[in-house]
Amino acid sequence: MPAIKKVKTAIIGCGTICKNTYAPNLANKYHIIDLVACADRIPERAAYLAEQYNLKVMTNEEIYNDPEIEIVVNLTCPESHYEVSKAAILAGKHVYSEKMMAVTWEEGQELYKLAREKGVNYTIAPDTFLGASWQTARKAIDDGLIGTPVAMTCCYSSNYQMDGDMVDLDPDHFMFVLHPGGGIPYDFGGYYLHNIINLMGPIKRVGGFCKTMYPDRIYRNPRHPLYKEPVHIDTPTSIAGALEFESGAHGTMLITSDSACRFFFQIMGTQGILILNDPNFFGGSVKIIRNGGVPLDPNLNDKEPGAWFTDPLSYTLPITHPFRESSRGLGVADMAYAIRNNRRPRADCDLGYHAFEVIHGIWKSGDSGEIYEMTSRCERPEPIPSLGLTGTAEEFALDN
Protein backbone atom coordinates (compact mmCIF):
# COMPACT_ATOMS: atom_id res chain seq x y z
CA MET A 1 0.00 0.00 0.00
CA PRO A 2 1.26 3.53 -0.65
CA ALA A 3 2.65 5.37 2.36
CA ILE A 4 0.71 8.47 3.27
CA LYS A 5 2.33 11.65 2.03
CA LYS A 6 2.10 13.78 5.12
CA VAL A 7 0.99 17.38 4.84
CA LYS A 8 3.50 19.95 6.06
CA THR A 9 1.75 22.28 8.45
CA ALA A 10 2.70 25.45 10.33
CA ILE A 11 1.01 27.21 13.24
CA ILE A 12 0.77 30.98 13.55
CA GLY A 13 -0.20 32.06 17.08
CA CYS A 14 1.40 30.06 19.90
CA GLY A 15 -0.84 31.16 22.79
CA THR A 16 -3.16 29.33 25.17
CA ILE A 17 -5.13 27.03 22.90
CA CYS A 18 -2.09 26.25 20.77
CA LYS A 19 0.08 25.28 23.70
CA ASN A 20 -2.58 23.30 25.55
CA THR A 21 -4.38 21.51 22.76
CA TYR A 22 -3.54 22.10 19.10
CA ALA A 23 0.21 21.66 19.25
CA PRO A 24 0.18 18.30 21.11
CA ASN A 25 -2.62 17.00 18.88
CA LEU A 26 -1.14 18.18 15.59
CA ALA A 27 2.32 16.95 16.55
CA ASN A 28 1.28 13.55 17.92
CA LYS A 29 -2.31 12.57 17.29
CA TYR A 30 -2.83 12.85 13.53
CA HIS A 31 -0.47 10.80 11.37
CA ILE A 32 -1.32 12.77 8.22
CA ILE A 33 0.00 16.03 9.71
CA ASP A 34 3.67 16.91 9.64
CA LEU A 35 3.91 19.89 12.00
CA VAL A 36 7.09 21.64 10.95
CA ALA A 37 7.05 25.29 11.99
CA CYS A 38 5.52 27.93 14.22
CA ALA A 39 5.41 31.72 14.52
CA ASP A 40 4.19 34.21 17.08
CA ARG A 41 4.60 37.94 17.40
CA ILE A 42 5.82 37.21 20.93
CA PRO A 43 9.10 35.41 20.11
CA GLU A 44 9.35 33.49 23.42
CA ARG A 45 6.05 31.76 22.73
CA ALA A 46 7.19 30.45 19.37
CA ALA A 47 10.55 29.47 20.86
CA TYR A 48 8.87 27.54 23.68
CA LEU A 49 6.61 25.65 21.29
CA ALA A 50 9.46 24.91 18.89
CA GLU A 51 11.48 23.39 21.69
CA GLN A 52 8.60 21.23 22.89
CA TYR A 53 7.77 19.79 19.48
CA ASN A 54 11.01 20.10 17.55
CA LEU A 55 9.67 22.79 15.21
CA LYS A 56 11.36 25.54 13.25
CA VAL A 57 10.65 29.08 14.47
CA MET A 58 9.78 31.21 11.47
CA THR A 59 8.25 34.64 10.86
CA ASN A 60 4.73 34.81 9.45
CA GLU A 61 6.19 35.86 6.09
CA GLU A 62 8.67 32.98 6.02
CA ILE A 63 5.77 30.59 6.56
CA TYR A 64 3.70 32.19 3.76
CA ASN A 65 6.70 32.01 1.42
CA ASP A 66 7.79 28.45 2.19
CA PRO A 67 6.72 26.34 -0.81
CA GLU A 68 6.75 23.10 1.24
CA ILE A 69 4.22 24.27 3.82
CA GLU A 70 0.71 23.42 2.62
CA ILE A 71 -1.51 24.26 5.62
CA VAL A 72 -1.35 27.33 7.86
CA VAL A 73 -3.18 26.92 11.17
CA ASN A 74 -4.22 30.39 12.35
CA LEU A 75 -4.45 30.33 16.15
CA THR A 76 -4.00 34.04 16.67
CA CYS A 77 -6.44 36.14 18.68
CA PRO A 78 -9.63 37.10 16.79
CA GLU A 79 -8.39 40.61 15.88
CA SER A 80 -5.53 39.01 13.92
CA HIS A 81 -7.54 36.29 12.15
CA TYR A 82 -8.29 38.47 9.13
CA GLU A 83 -4.73 39.70 8.57
CA VAL A 84 -3.10 36.27 8.99
CA SER A 85 -5.70 34.28 7.01
CA LYS A 86 -5.68 36.83 4.20
CA ALA A 87 -1.90 36.80 3.84
CA ALA A 88 -1.81 32.98 3.93
CA ILE A 89 -4.63 32.62 1.38
CA LEU A 90 -2.95 35.14 -0.91
CA ALA A 91 0.22 33.07 -0.67
CA GLY A 92 -1.78 30.05 -1.89
CA LYS A 93 -1.83 28.22 1.45
CA HIS A 94 -4.73 26.15 2.73
CA VAL A 95 -5.89 27.78 5.94
CA TYR A 96 -7.46 26.43 9.08
CA SER A 97 -8.47 29.36 11.30
CA GLU A 98 -9.75 29.44 14.83
CA LYS A 99 -13.23 30.92 15.17
CA MET A 100 -14.59 33.20 13.99
CA MET A 101 -13.18 33.99 10.59
CA ALA A 102 -12.83 37.72 11.28
CA VAL A 103 -14.15 40.53 13.44
CA THR A 104 -16.41 42.30 10.93
CA TRP A 105 -18.83 40.78 8.45
CA GLU A 106 -17.15 42.74 5.65
CA GLU A 107 -13.78 41.16 6.47
CA GLY A 108 -15.45 37.73 6.51
CA GLN A 109 -17.02 38.35 3.10
CA GLU A 110 -13.66 39.37 1.68
CA LEU A 111 -11.88 36.29 3.06
CA TYR A 112 -14.56 33.93 1.79
CA LYS A 113 -14.39 35.44 -1.70
CA LEU A 114 -10.61 35.40 -1.69
CA ALA A 115 -10.39 31.73 -0.68
CA ARG A 116 -12.83 30.78 -3.44
CA GLU A 117 -10.91 32.85 -6.01
CA LYS A 118 -7.58 31.34 -5.00
CA GLY A 119 -9.06 27.82 -4.93
CA VAL A 120 -7.55 27.03 -1.53
CA ASN A 121 -9.25 25.14 1.28
CA TYR A 122 -10.25 27.39 4.15
CA THR A 123 -11.77 25.94 7.29
CA ILE A 124 -13.04 27.79 10.32
CA ALA A 125 -13.10 26.19 13.77
CA PRO A 126 -14.70 24.74 15.76
CA ASP A 127 -14.32 21.17 14.58
CA THR A 128 -16.11 19.54 17.52
CA PHE A 129 -19.01 18.69 15.21
CA LEU A 130 -16.72 16.07 13.67
CA GLY A 131 -16.41 14.39 17.07
CA ALA A 132 -17.94 11.11 18.22
CA SER A 133 -21.07 12.42 19.94
CA TRP A 134 -22.01 14.85 17.21
CA GLN A 135 -21.54 12.34 14.42
CA THR A 136 -23.57 9.84 16.47
CA ALA A 137 -26.32 12.45 16.77
CA ARG A 138 -26.10 13.18 13.07
CA LYS A 139 -26.49 9.48 12.25
CA ALA A 140 -29.44 9.22 14.63
CA ILE A 141 -31.16 12.03 12.73
CA ASP A 142 -30.20 10.68 9.30
CA ASP A 143 -31.48 7.22 10.31
CA GLY A 144 -34.83 8.77 11.26
CA LEU A 145 -34.64 7.96 14.97
CA ILE A 146 -36.51 11.17 15.85
CA GLY A 147 -38.47 11.37 12.60
CA THR A 148 -38.26 14.70 10.79
CA PRO A 149 -36.60 17.49 12.82
CA VAL A 150 -39.14 20.26 13.38
CA ALA A 151 -37.46 22.43 16.00
CA MET A 152 -34.34 22.90 18.09
CA THR A 153 -33.37 24.90 21.10
CA CYS A 154 -30.11 25.61 22.86
CA CYS A 155 -29.06 27.72 25.79
CA TYR A 156 -25.54 28.25 27.09
CA SER A 157 -24.55 30.42 29.98
CA SER A 158 -21.12 31.13 31.32
CA ASN A 159 -19.26 33.71 33.34
CA TYR A 160 -16.59 35.69 31.49
CA GLN A 161 -14.92 38.22 33.76
CA MET A 162 -11.67 40.12 33.67
CA ASP A 163 -10.23 38.07 36.49
CA GLY A 164 -10.07 34.42 35.50
CA ASP A 165 -7.14 32.32 34.37
CA MET A 166 -7.91 33.26 30.80
CA VAL A 167 -6.68 36.81 31.37
CA ASP A 168 -3.39 37.13 29.55
CA LEU A 169 -0.98 39.44 31.31
CA ASP A 170 0.32 40.86 28.06
CA PRO A 171 -1.56 44.14 27.48
CA ASP A 172 -2.10 43.40 23.79
CA HIS A 173 -4.16 40.28 24.35
CA PHE A 174 -6.21 40.78 27.44
CA MET A 175 -9.06 38.34 27.51
CA PHE A 176 -9.89 37.79 23.84
CA VAL A 177 -13.37 36.67 24.83
CA LEU A 178 -14.27 40.21 25.86
CA HIS A 179 -12.83 41.98 22.84
CA PRO A 180 -14.32 42.53 19.36
CA GLY A 181 -14.44 39.27 17.49
CA GLY A 182 -14.46 37.48 20.82
CA GLY A 183 -17.37 37.64 23.19
CA ILE A 184 -19.85 34.89 23.72
CA PRO A 185 -21.71 35.19 20.37
CA TYR A 186 -18.45 34.63 18.49
CA ASP A 187 -16.97 32.20 20.96
CA PHE A 188 -19.75 29.81 21.96
CA GLY A 189 -21.95 30.89 19.07
CA GLY A 190 -19.48 29.07 16.82
CA TYR A 191 -19.69 25.81 18.75
CA TYR A 192 -23.46 25.79 18.73
CA LEU A 193 -23.93 26.99 15.16
CA HIS A 194 -21.54 24.50 13.56
CA ASN A 195 -23.36 21.72 15.34
CA ILE A 196 -26.81 23.17 14.64
CA ILE A 197 -26.03 23.46 10.92
CA ASN A 198 -24.48 19.97 10.83
CA LEU A 199 -27.66 18.52 12.36
CA MET A 200 -30.44 20.75 11.02
CA GLY A 201 -29.06 22.11 7.75
CA PRO A 202 -28.78 25.67 6.43
CA ILE A 203 -30.55 28.67 7.94
CA LYS A 204 -32.80 30.94 5.88
CA ARG A 205 -33.74 33.80 8.18
CA VAL A 206 -32.74 34.98 11.63
CA GLY A 207 -33.99 37.50 14.15
CA GLY A 208 -33.05 38.46 17.66
CA PHE A 209 -30.91 40.61 19.86
CA CYS A 210 -27.26 41.07 20.83
CA LYS A 211 -26.39 43.08 23.88
CA THR A 212 -23.37 44.14 25.92
CA MET A 213 -24.50 43.68 29.49
CA TYR A 214 -22.54 45.62 32.12
CA PRO A 215 -20.07 47.19 29.66
CA ASP A 216 -18.14 48.98 32.41
CA ARG A 217 -16.25 46.61 34.67
CA ILE A 218 -12.97 46.54 36.58
CA TYR A 219 -9.99 44.19 36.48
CA ARG A 220 -10.39 42.06 39.58
CA ASN A 221 -7.28 39.89 39.47
CA PRO A 222 -4.55 41.28 41.76
CA ARG A 223 -1.93 39.83 39.39
CA HIS A 224 -3.17 42.03 36.59
CA PRO A 225 -1.18 45.19 35.87
CA LEU A 226 -4.47 47.08 35.56
CA TYR A 227 -5.87 45.71 38.82
CA LYS A 228 -8.96 47.65 39.90
CA GLU A 229 -8.71 49.89 36.80
CA PRO A 230 -11.91 50.25 34.77
CA VAL A 231 -12.37 48.28 31.55
CA HIS A 232 -14.98 48.94 28.89
CA ILE A 233 -16.40 45.81 27.21
CA ASP A 234 -16.90 46.55 23.53
CA THR A 235 -18.38 43.29 22.28
CA PRO A 236 -21.81 41.75 22.95
CA THR A 237 -21.94 39.47 25.98
CA SER A 238 -25.42 38.11 25.36
CA ILE A 239 -27.27 36.91 22.26
CA ALA A 240 -30.84 35.72 21.82
CA GLY A 241 -31.63 34.43 18.36
CA ALA A 242 -34.55 32.92 16.49
CA LEU A 243 -33.63 30.74 13.52
CA GLU A 244 -35.69 29.62 10.56
CA PHE A 245 -34.12 26.71 8.71
CA GLU A 246 -34.40 26.09 4.99
CA SER A 247 -36.18 22.84 5.90
CA GLY A 248 -38.98 24.86 7.53
CA ALA A 249 -37.92 23.90 11.08
CA HIS A 250 -37.48 26.59 13.71
CA GLY A 251 -34.94 27.09 16.47
CA THR A 252 -33.88 29.33 19.30
CA MET A 253 -30.43 30.09 20.60
CA LEU A 254 -29.74 31.94 23.85
CA ILE A 255 -26.15 32.46 24.95
CA THR A 256 -24.88 34.70 27.72
CA SER A 257 -21.54 35.18 29.45
CA ASP A 258 -23.02 37.00 32.42
CA SER A 259 -24.28 34.13 34.50
CA ALA A 260 -23.22 30.75 35.91
CA CYS A 261 -22.05 27.86 33.73
CA ARG A 262 -24.85 25.69 32.34
CA PHE A 263 -25.98 24.36 28.96
CA PHE A 264 -29.01 22.84 27.30
CA PHE A 265 -29.29 21.64 23.70
CA GLN A 266 -32.03 19.55 22.14
CA ILE A 267 -33.56 18.76 18.77
CA MET A 268 -37.22 17.92 18.44
CA GLY A 269 -38.46 15.66 15.65
CA THR A 270 -41.84 14.25 14.67
CA GLN A 271 -40.96 10.95 16.38
CA GLY A 272 -38.86 12.06 19.33
CA ILE A 273 -36.26 14.33 20.86
CA LEU A 274 -32.45 14.23 20.90
CA ILE A 275 -30.82 15.58 24.04
CA LEU A 276 -27.30 16.70 23.24
CA ASN A 277 -24.17 17.58 25.14
CA ASP A 278 -21.94 20.62 25.35
CA PRO A 279 -20.67 21.28 21.81
CA ASN A 280 -17.39 22.59 23.19
CA PHE A 281 -16.48 18.89 23.52
CA PHE A 282 -16.09 16.08 21.01
CA GLY A 283 -17.62 13.40 23.23
CA GLY A 284 -20.41 13.22 25.78
CA SER A 285 -23.79 11.57 25.96
CA VAL A 286 -26.48 11.61 23.29
CA LYS A 287 -29.90 10.79 24.67
CA ILE A 288 -33.17 10.13 22.96
CA ILE A 289 -36.80 10.40 23.97
CA ARG A 290 -39.21 8.63 21.64
CA ASN A 291 -42.88 9.33 21.12
CA GLY A 292 -44.72 6.74 23.15
CA GLY A 293 -41.80 6.44 25.55
CA VAL A 294 -43.80 8.10 28.31
CA PRO A 295 -43.82 5.94 31.42
CA LEU A 296 -47.12 5.61 33.19
CA ASP A 297 -47.20 6.75 36.74
CA PRO A 298 -47.97 3.46 38.56
CA ASN A 299 -50.50 5.34 40.67
CA LEU A 300 -52.46 6.48 37.64
CA ASN A 301 -53.98 4.68 34.72
CA ASP A 302 -53.62 6.06 31.24
CA LYS A 303 -57.15 7.43 31.24
CA GLU A 304 -56.47 9.75 34.14
CA PRO A 305 -55.31 13.32 33.58
CA GLY A 306 -51.67 13.66 34.55
CA ALA A 307 -50.59 10.26 33.24
CA TRP A 308 -49.09 11.91 30.18
CA PHE A 309 -47.31 14.57 32.14
CA THR A 310 -44.82 12.39 33.95
CA ASP A 311 -41.25 12.82 32.72
CA PRO A 312 -40.69 10.88 29.51
CA LEU A 313 -38.02 8.18 29.61
CA SER A 314 -34.80 9.05 27.87
CA TYR A 315 -32.35 6.46 26.62
CA THR A 316 -28.63 6.95 26.10
CA LEU A 317 -27.55 6.05 22.59
CA PRO A 318 -24.35 4.07 22.08
CA ILE A 319 -21.62 6.30 20.68
CA THR A 320 -20.94 4.90 17.23
CA HIS A 321 -18.21 7.18 15.88
CA PRO A 322 -14.53 7.86 16.42
CA PHE A 323 -12.88 10.85 18.14
CA ARG A 324 -14.49 10.93 21.58
CA GLU A 325 -11.65 12.53 23.47
CA SER A 326 -10.17 16.02 23.11
CA SER A 327 -9.51 15.99 19.36
CA ARG A 328 -8.99 19.65 18.45
CA GLY A 329 -7.13 19.69 15.16
CA LEU A 330 -9.45 17.04 13.73
CA GLY A 331 -10.59 19.64 11.21
CA VAL A 332 -6.96 20.20 10.20
CA ALA A 333 -6.48 16.43 9.76
CA ASP A 334 -9.68 16.25 7.70
CA MET A 335 -8.41 19.11 5.56
CA ALA A 336 -5.11 17.28 5.06
CA TYR A 337 -6.93 14.15 3.87
CA ALA A 338 -9.14 16.37 1.71
CA ILE A 339 -6.01 17.76 0.03
CA ARG A 340 -4.55 14.30 -0.58
CA ASN A 341 -7.88 12.89 -1.81
CA ASN A 342 -8.83 15.95 -3.84
CA ARG A 343 -12.11 16.53 -2.03
CA ARG A 344 -13.56 19.45 -0.07
CA PRO A 345 -12.88 19.43 3.70
CA ARG A 346 -15.92 18.52 5.77
CA ALA A 347 -15.56 21.82 7.59
CA ASP A 348 -15.40 23.78 4.34
CA CYS A 349 -15.51 27.56 4.79
CA ASP A 350 -19.16 27.54 3.64
CA LEU A 351 -19.93 26.34 7.16
CA GLY A 352 -17.86 28.90 9.08
CA TYR A 353 -19.08 31.66 6.79
CA HIS A 354 -22.73 30.67 7.21
CA ALA A 355 -22.30 30.52 11.02
CA PHE A 356 -20.59 33.91 11.00
CA GLU A 357 -23.48 35.40 9.02
CA VAL A 358 -26.01 34.03 11.53
CA ILE A 359 -24.33 36.00 14.34
CA HIS A 360 -24.05 39.06 12.11
CA GLY A 361 -27.72 38.69 11.13
CA ILE A 362 -28.99 38.38 14.70
CA TRP A 363 -26.99 41.44 15.67
CA LYS A 364 -28.34 43.36 12.64
CA SER A 365 -31.87 42.24 13.41
CA GLY A 366 -31.61 43.54 16.96
CA ASP A 367 -30.38 46.91 15.70
CA SER A 368 -32.93 47.26 12.88
CA GLY A 369 -35.93 45.53 14.45
CA GLU A 370 -36.26 43.53 11.23
CA ILE A 371 -35.85 39.88 10.32
CA TYR A 372 -32.52 39.27 8.55
CA GLU A 373 -32.50 37.23 5.32
CA MET A 374 -29.35 35.11 5.06
CA THR A 375 -27.29 35.62 1.91
CA SER A 376 -25.01 32.59 2.37
CA ARG A 377 -25.95 28.94 2.42
CA CYS A 378 -24.14 25.69 3.00
CA GLU A 379 -24.97 22.03 2.63
CA ARG A 380 -24.75 19.89 5.74
CA PRO A 381 -21.15 18.67 5.91
CA GLU A 382 -20.45 15.13 4.71
CA PRO A 383 -20.79 12.83 7.74
CA ILE A 384 -17.89 10.75 9.06
CA PRO A 385 -18.55 7.04 8.57
CA SER A 386 -19.01 4.77 11.56
CA LEU A 387 -16.47 2.00 10.91
CA GLY A 388 -15.86 0.55 14.35
CA LEU A 389 -12.35 1.97 14.41
CA THR A 390 -10.41 2.48 17.61
CA GLY A 391 -7.17 4.12 18.73
CA THR A 392 -4.78 5.40 16.10
CA ALA A 393 -6.78 3.67 13.33
CA GLU A 394 -9.65 6.14 13.87
CA GLU A 395 -8.01 8.46 11.35
CA PHE A 396 -8.84 5.96 8.58
CA ALA A 397 -12.41 7.32 8.70
CA LEU A 398 -11.11 10.60 7.21
CA ASP A 399 -9.10 9.06 4.37
CA ASN A 400 -11.71 9.23 1.64
Ligand X SMILES: NC(=O)c1ccc[n+]([C@@H]2O[C@H](COP(=O)([O-])OP(=O)(O)OC[C@H]3O[C@@H](n4cnc5c(N)ncnc54)[C@H](O)[C@@H]3O)[C@@H](O)[C@H]2O)c1
Question: Least distance to ligand X from the beta carbon of 127, Å?
Answer: 10
Q: CA-to-CA distance for 156 and 263, rounded, in angstroms?
A: 4
**How many other CB atoms are there within 10 angstroms of residue 341's CB atom?**
11
As to burial, measured by CB atoms within 10 angstroms (0-12 exposed, 13-18 middle, 19+ buried), residue 10 is buried
Beta bridge partners of 245: 203
Nearest of 73, 93, 84, 78 to residue 26 by alpha carbon:
73
Q: Does residue 185 bind ligand X (CB under 6 A)? A: no
Under the binding rule (CB under 6 A), the answer on residue 15 touching ligand X is yes
| 190 vs 381, beta carbon nearer ligand X | 190
Residue 83 engages ligand X in binding (rule: CB under 6 A): yes
Asked if 329 is part of the footprint of ligand X (rule: CB under 6 A), the reply reads no
Cα distance from N-terminal residue to C-terminal residue, the chain:
15
- Crossing angle, helix 105-118 and helix 78-90, to 10 degrees? 20
Sign of the torsion angle spanned by Cα atoms 259, 262, 268, 272? negative
- Listed ranges 8-16, 147-155, 293-301, 370-378: which one lies at the site for ligand X (CB under 6 A): 8-16
Q: Indicate the residue among 173 and 364 with the shorter CB distance to ligand X.
A: 173
CB of 257 to ligand X, least distance (A): 13
Among the listed residues 93, 117, 131, the one whose alpha carbon sits nearest the alpha carbon of residue 281: 131
Residue 326 binding ligand X, by CB under 6 A = no
In angstroms, what is the minimal distance from the CB of 15 to ligand X? 2
**Which of 19, 250 has the CB closer to ligand X?**
19
Indicate which single residue of 40, 70, 107, 357 sits in contact with ligand X (rule: CB under 6 A). 40
Select from 173, 179, 346, 364 the one that contacts ligand X (CB under 6 A): 173
CA distance 214 to 399: 48
Where does this chain touch ligand X (CB under 6 A) — which range of 72-80, 108-116, 141-149, 258-266?
72-80
Q: Quick one: which segment of 40-48, 204-212, 217-225, 252-260 binds ligand X (CB under 6 A)? A: 40-48
